[in-house]
Amino acid sequence: MEMHQLRYFAAVMDEGTFTAAAHRLHVSQSGISTQVAKLELELGQQLFDRSGRHIRLTPVGEAVLPLAKNVLATLEAIKHTAAEFADAVRGRVRLGMIMGCSIPPFLDTVAGLGRTHPGIELSLHEGYSEDLQAQVLAGSLDLALIGYAGDVVPGLEVSVVVDEPVTAVVPTGHPLDRPELRLGDLRDEKILCLSPGTGIRAAYEDSCRRTGLDPRVDIDASSPVTLLRLAERGAGVAVLSASSARGTGLRTVPLTDAATHARLGLVTRRGQHSPAVQLLLTRLLAALRAD
């Protein structure tokens, strides 16, 4: 198994087609197809379902993809760590993050960069995901952590770190503390959700519309922690991702008809990045994907 085979496999899924992946990686389409086929042969399993008009991952491919991305992120982290000893990285990084971000690996990485690389000037700006994408595209930010559903703005590259369906979050013993729910089961409850412009809010609203429901929200906030504390106190049912409620003691109940996933990703402009931006991007990917 070769590293470039894993890189080609991941690129095909990131870009959606073999052709787009070949264009991004500056190799021939036949080269990518051949190497992915060799990877499948070595694994003894098909990673892609090629029977339809659009390629899709097989169940094996879905299981292998996050592992492949973790391996690639670790490899990049090793390369950049070694490079740091050979040549100190300097420069300026303008970083954006979603409103109310309290993700420990993200905050730890940002804080740690200043200690290990005093030559990097880091500025941090908080905002809503749609605004952060526009600022990265315009060049006023170099890199941003965003929440989104669907696709990012054309012209941006996104590295996905979380891809989850939305769930209902309730205290233990709540009437909706069940093995699973449907969105319609929430109709008589007060709905707590993140503010407009966030990935979870977009995923919830799109999922409601797909099932013919009004995407009602009674209380919104910029921080998942605020919504979780309100849910603990009986203010309503929080609609968040399962990982948002990890370690709280609250119950996350799957919403089986919530078709649109909430994603968390790091976005940059397409093209080359400065060594300082690339270093922070690599460190954030390794930290967030390992969480």
Interval 265-281: pLDDT, tens = 999 998 878 889 999 99
Q: pLDDT by residue (tens digit) across 133-159? A: 999 999 999 999 998 888 888 999 999
Q: Per-residue pLDDT for 61 more than 90?
A: no
Record the pTM. 0.64
Rounded percentage of the chain residues whose pLDDT exceeds 90: 45
Q: Which residues are paired to 57 by β-bridges?
A: 48
The residue behind tokens 């992120």 is: 73
CB count within 10 Å of CB 70 equals 15
Pick from 262, 264, 270: which is nearest to 288 by CA?
A: 264
Q: Classify the phi-psi angles of 87: left when phi > 0, otherwise alpha if psi is within -120 to 50, otherwise beta.
A: beta
Q: Per-residue pLDDT for 17 more than 50?
A: yes
C-alpha–C-alpha distance, residues 42 and 53, integer Å? 26
Q: Per-residue pLDDT for 166 more than 90?
A: yes
pLDDT of res. 258: 93
Q: Is 110 in a helix, a strand, or coil? A: helix
pLDDT band at 86; cut points 50, 70, 90: very low
Q: Per-residue pLDDT for 84 more than 70?
A: no
The first and second tokens of residue 78, run together, are: 């090793």
Q: pLDDT by residue (tens digit) across 169-205? A: 999 999 999 999 999 999 999 999 998 888 899 999 9
Phi, psi at 264, each rounded to 5°: -120, 130
The first and second tokens of residue 55, run together, are: 């390629």
Residues 76-95 have a mean pLDDT of 73
Q: Per-residue pLDDT for 76 more than 90?
A: no
* Of the candidate ranges 35-44, 76-85, 159-168, the one whose mean pLDDT is the lowest: 76-85
